[in-house]
Copies of this chain bind each other. A is one copy, B any other.
Amino acid sequence: MTISPIDLSEYRVDVQRAKQGVRLSDWPTKAGDKEKRDETEQETAELQNQLSEWQEKLYAEGQQSLLLILQARDAGGKDSTVKHVLAGVNPQGIIVTSFKVPSDIEQKHDFLWRVHPHAPATGMMAVFNRSHYEEVLVTRVHGQVSGGQAQHHFAHIRAFEALLHDKGTRILKVYLHISPEEQKERLLERVQKPEKHWKFNIGDLDERAHWKDYTRYYQEMMEATSTDIAPWYVIPADQKWYRDRLISQLLVDTLAEMNPQFPAGDFDPSQVVIDDTDSD
């Protein structure tokens, strides 16, 4: 099928835009046309086929890697994005790391110490479900990291991401943009459906009460860390089916730009002889 490509640059926080100041309210939380949901889902399926093919080449080539960083408010759809966009990719070529509250040992180190080991090896795709960015978000909301400290953190993050980039890692950073109404619905669903109880954390309600603080710190974070090599994307995420469509295309477009190729063999096929052998 033919896919009508969507201009994803409108969701990108490019450097110019970051300099002018980021306002999350400039981006929609909903952008899909309900009438076209079926068609959109078919496009997503086709994009995911393309994603699998690119992933195989990325792995075979073994020279570059792709890192997708997912950040969102609670119930913003991080887990769901991983499941719906990336199930289907050969699990041998992708590693998803979920970053939780830092452990005692992790807190005894700089904030990138626990992150660095999970950077993707050449040939691999990696997903960070939450990331080093928590250190300039939840910590700021709760006053554990000051504005001055955050500036240092931002500088460390830019340097860290530049280091990965220099090793051939393409970095995509996605903020899943949901409305407070959508978050409420999703949290209610977790409360009401027994099979979703395990996802409900009563503490999420305290974080929800800090909605505006989070908005502020997300904005500052994007202003300070949207770079040419690692831009943020503000992806409308109230409609999961449209979110999946956009992120699938973002991955496919990026891999197409990276353009990994099956490497040539280091042997002369005409000279290879494979003998028969006896069984047992």
Residues of A within 8 A of B (CB): 24-25, 52, 60-61, 79, 82-83, 86-92, 94-96, 98, 127, 129, 179-181, 184, 187-188, 191-192, 194-195, 197-200, 202, 205, 208-209, 211-212, 215, 262-265, 267, 269, 272, 274-280
Contact = CB atoms under 8 A, between A and B. Distances in A.
Contact of A265 (B87, B198, B265): B198
Contacts of A87: 52, 87-91
A139 to B, nearest CB: 21
B86 A274 contact: no
14 contacts: A25-B279, A60-B199, A83-B92, A87-B90, A89-B91, A91-B91, A91-B96, A194-B264, A197-B265, A198-B262, A200-B272, A205-B272, A209-B277, A215-B280
> Copy number in this complex?
2
A194 to B, nearest CB: 7
A280 B96 contact: no
A192 B200 CA distance: 53
B202 A267 contact: yes
Contacts of A215: 280
Contacts of A129: 92
A267 B180 contact: no
A273 to B, nearest CB: 8
Contacts of A263: 197-198
Contact of A279 (B187, B211, B277): B211
B184 A127 contact: no
A92 B77 CA distance: 13
B180 A277 contact: yes
Nearest to A29: B279
A180 B279 contact: yes
Contact of A82 (B90, B96, B188): B90
A198 B261 CA distance: 10
A109 to B, nearest CB: 17
A60 B198 contact: yes
Contact of A269 (B181, B191, B195, B280): B191
Contacts of A98: 92
Contact of A92 (B96, B264, B278, B279): B96
B94 A91 contact: yes
A237 B178 CA distance: 47
Contacts of A264: 194, 197
Contact of A211 (B179, B188, B211, B278): B278
Q: Which of A90, A212, A264 gathers most chain B CB within 10 Å?
A: A90
A212 B277 CA distance: 9
A90 B188 CA distance: 24
